[in-house]
Structure 1
């Protein structure tokens, strides 16, 4: 039998959510950080209009999509690359700049795919401690080694939902050697955007990349569209390993139309934030720890890992699926995506019932 490369054989598969619901129960998935509402009607219509041309390959340069991104964010379109979700861009960056003699660095609870991408090329992966579920610039800088080639920062973070200010990102970039590539993953950026906090200008120095996606605020997770602003020299290398024609005709059309409907996206973010904050208040009233979130999900910390497991089993018995964070070293936590108002009310009621039963035992 043919054997895989040793470093691939040693890897664990990337863990996805368990979406198995008990028989007879309606599945309510709060496990994958998907949007609670469909994408903009304009995006749906645009995708439908492309179906007759499905015999043709998609635009390999994503021309209209890049123009739409550039217009929304006031960016140079020639420095934008698009991927099948930001995951493709993360993987390509690591393939371009890292190998068995290099190291990739992120924070303690950084997005798990950062580690997967590093291990896939045989690179070592380091994680710097976080403070109160928030990345620490000082900790990151203290873990940098001569072999470190890329530092990944998810801001806001996943699975914590927390964010750091632009001033901290600037301090991190200033403290890193110029030869290290800083990759700022802003997958949830639309939920956290505020005046004066953008980081796209850091790309101009040539050693920083900023990534975003249309999977979250735009509700296009199934279309697989991510993008990033790259220094020209980095973009030239990444293009060599990107899959050609990587984003379908329908997905490009949907993403372009979604970006052109900013009012709809902002309304989604506003509604999601209101439901998130209401659910967080309910959880805190149950004496559960919930860090402030700037995303479409919440991290819920229980008293210990067994309490989190009992809560998870209780919710699953009712068909409500949250995401266990044991794989992140947070076995006492569940992550709850913000779903519809009805789903969040049901989840809150079920956790209240669980909490009451726990107190009686």
Structure 2
């Protein structure tokens, strides 16, 4: 019988969220609590008439919309089937056997899977109070380190470090180490962390910034993400990208969503208000909830057993949060922010468990 190559056979499959049954409301995927921009939906529907054609591999409309919204060079923007595709290509392009990819203790789990695919070694730097520590990252760099990966804001923690800390990290790293800053949730932090400061790091030739349309733009089902690259690095990544990676409809919807910044900002404001109310309600129950700069909150219970009891009680009410045992946080659940009535239901379940 045919067998996979040893590196694939030794890998564990990337762990996806348990979506429960048909009646379950998922608070596990970090999808948007609100629909995408009506303009995005209309553009995607209109583009469906062109499905006899392959998608444009240069994403011209989408790149132009991103560049205009953020003041960037469109030639240095690459688009992917979600930012996951770009992350995977980055790791395969710049790390291999004998190399190390350095993440953080509670960093995005897909990075470890992508590193295994490249047959490189994934290592982590400790975090402090569930927050990225630049000092710890720098201390963990070795001569084998090829890529440093930082998620800011963090997933699954929701915590944020200032742009000045990202800049300090870049200036302190060796120039032959690539820094990847994953900003999947950046729209929720942009009001306090000027995005231009981070995009400017790509001008140095050794930093890549990735973003997505899956969160604040409400287009998780479209599978569209993007990154800002130094010129030389963009050319290398193009060799690995599927040349027709984003469908015609998804490109049109994402471009229209990017042009409708008013809708996106309104979603961010509404989501943050629901999030902060729910987080405070949880704290009032005696739970620990770090300040979040995303569309989810991390809920820390008194013990792993209490977190498990909460999970069971939530499932009994057809509500599903994300268990964090895979991150070494078995005493935590992560809750995606949903409409207020869903969050109130979740709060009432937690209150019942704790009282």
CA deviations over 1:214-248 (Å, ceiling 9, x no partner):
00000000000000000010000000000011000
Q: For residues 326 and 136 of structure 1, what CA distance do their matches in structure 2 show?
A: 22
Check conservation: 1:280, 1:290, Cα contact below 8 A. yes
C-alpha contact (below 8 Å) 1:165/1:197 kept by paired residues: no
What is the RMSD of the two structures over their aligned residues, measured on CA atoms? 0.9
Aligned twin of 1:181? 178
Any idea what SS the aligned residue of 1:235 has?
helix
Superposed CA deviations along residues 63-92 of structure 1, whole A, max 9, x for unmatched, are 010000000000000000000000000000
Q: How far, CA to CA, are the matches of 1:5 and 1:287 in structure 2?
A: 49
- Secondary structure in structure 2 of the residue aligned to 1:270: helix
Task: Give the C-alpha shift of residue 304 in structure 1.
Answer: 1.1
Aligned partners of 1:147 and 1:76: how far apart in 2? 32
Residue 3 of structure 1 corresponds to 3
Shift of 1:195: 5.7
**Take 1:242 and 1:341, find their aligned partners in 2: how far apart are those partners?**
39
Q: Which runs of 5+ in 2 are unaligned?
A: none
What TM-score comes out, normalization by structure 2 length?
0.98
Q: Report the counterpart of residue 44 of structure 1 in structure 2.
A: 41
Structure 2 partner of 1:144: 141
1:124-148 Cα deviation digits (max 9, x unpaired): 0001100000010011011101111
| Paired position in structure 2 for 1:234 | 233
Instruction: State the alpha-carbon separation in 2 of the partners of residues 351 and 190 from structure 1.
Output: 29
Counterpart CA distance in 2 for 1:7 and 1:318 is: 41
Give matches, 1:3-22, under 5 Å. 3-21=3-21
Cα offset for 1:2? Answer: 1.3
- Which residue in the other structure is 2:282 paired with? 283
TM-score by length of 1: 0.97
Structure 1: give runs of 5+ residues left out of the alignment.
357-361
Q: Which residue of 2 aligns with 1:348?
A: 347
Kindly tell me: are residues 196 and 34 of structure 1, through their superposed partners in 2, closer, same or farther at Cα, counting changes over 3 Å? closer
- After superposition, the C-alpha distances for 1:169-225 in whole angstroms (9 at most, x for unaligned) are 011111110000000000000000036632000000000000000000000000000
Match of 2:239, SS state, is: helix
Who is 1:325 aligned against?
A: 324
How many positions carry a matched residue from both structures? 353
2:241, 2:23 → 1: CA distance?
A: 39
Question: Structure 2 residue aligned with 1:98, among 95, 99, 116?
Answer: 95
Aligned to 1:241, the other structure's residue is in SS state: coil
Q: Deviations 1:98-131 (Å, cap 9, x if unpaired)?
A: 1111000010000000111101111000011000
CA separation in 1, counterparts of 2:168 and 2:44?
Answer: 42
Displaced runs of 4 or more, over 3 A: none
Q: Is 341-350 or 264-273 further displaced after alignment?
A: 341-350
DSSP-derived class of the 1:153 partner: strand
Q: Please state whether the residue corresponding to 1:190 is helix, strand or coil.
A: helix
Match for 1:190 among 187, 195, 201? 187
**Cα shift readout 1:20-46 (whole Å, capped 9, x = no counterpart):** 23xxx8311100000011100000000
